[in-house]
A and B are shown apart, each in its own frame.
Chain A
């Protein structure tokens, strides 16, 4: 188990499984509104970042590529947040 957790990709997989469970649970309890949307976007950002850094192996890549991929994630999450914020007004 300790050996398993030494591998960053294995750690990422575990966190991704738990995070997917949380998003599913928020759906089960019918979470809605600003707080739940922000929570789900934060979870999606954390998950996406783990895929980018530990699965795509961009942690050790030139900074430009990290900025492009993580930037994409931030832009998409921001646009979604903006649209939901507009819908709540």
Chain B
């Protein structure tokens, strides 16, 4: 057991500082983060001028579903970490099921979000109802689209992993897709308290 850990360590840690995945995906992630930063700031500063309205309509949001979605995205991210770790220790068979579990968490997020939207749209709420709902719908829907793109990426990774594309010496593609998926999680970690809870 001891021998195994000492052998496994150099394989996962290449000794020097290393950026996982492709450099390009990290520039793409930075661009996405900047776009959302502008969006988050716009929400917060618009709220500063309409505090009572934002506090009033925030109460109509379903915090339980928002928290449930946080759990789903974080857990989905965790499964993808497990897939990447499996690749690093060359446990090729463990990669696809973990990607699938991560994908299912993403699917769960979408289902919960659709339930939430159905409730709001069913009540006649739209982008033009007021400034709060304009932000709520556009921010969460913009993020929703990113979850869908993340799931498309996970689907590609799953097919590739099933064909044995990833292992200890070739985890680049998997790491790049994983980084994007974690970004989707990171964004929701800010979005949930900001829009659903802070008042």
User: A interface vs B, CB < 8 Å?
Assistant: 7, 9-10, 12-13, 16-17, 20-21, 23-24, 26-28, 32, 36-37, 40-41, 43-44, 47-48, 51-52, 54-58, 60-63, 65, 68-69, 72-73, 75-77, 79-80, 82-84, 86-87
Interface residues of B (CB under 8 A from A): 13, 17-20, 26, 30, 33-34, 37, 40-41, 44-45, 47-49, 51, 55, 63-64, 67, 70-71, 74-75, 77-78, 80-82, 84-85, 175, 178-179, 182-183, 185-186, 189-190, 192-194, 196-199
Across the interface, name the chain A residue whose C-beta is closest to B37.
Answer: A76
Closest to A9 in B: B81
CB distance from A48 to the nearest CB of B (A): 5
Which one, B20, B26, B75, contacts A13 given CB within 8 A?
Answer: B75
The interface residues of chain A lying within 8 Å CB-to-CB of B51 are: 87
Give the distance to chain A from B44, nearest Cβ to Cβ, in Å: 3
Classify the secondary structure of A's interface with B.
helix
Task: State the main secondary structure of chain B at its contact with A.
Answer: helix
Do A23 and B192 touch (CB < 8 A)? yes
Most buried by A among B26, B51, B189, B199: B189
B41: A residues at CB distance < 8 A: 76, 79-80, 83
Partner of A84, one of B17, B190, B198: B198
Q: Which residue of B lies closest to A16 (CB)?
A: B74
Interfacial chain A residues near B186, Cβ < 8 Å: 48, 51-52, 56
Residues of A near B182 (CB, < 8 A) are 51, 55-56
Check B185 against A84 for contact (C-beta < 8 Å).
no
Q: How far is the CA of A43 from the CA of B190 in the complex (A)?
A: 10
> Within the assembled complex, what's the spacing in Å between the Cα atoms of A62 and B20?
10
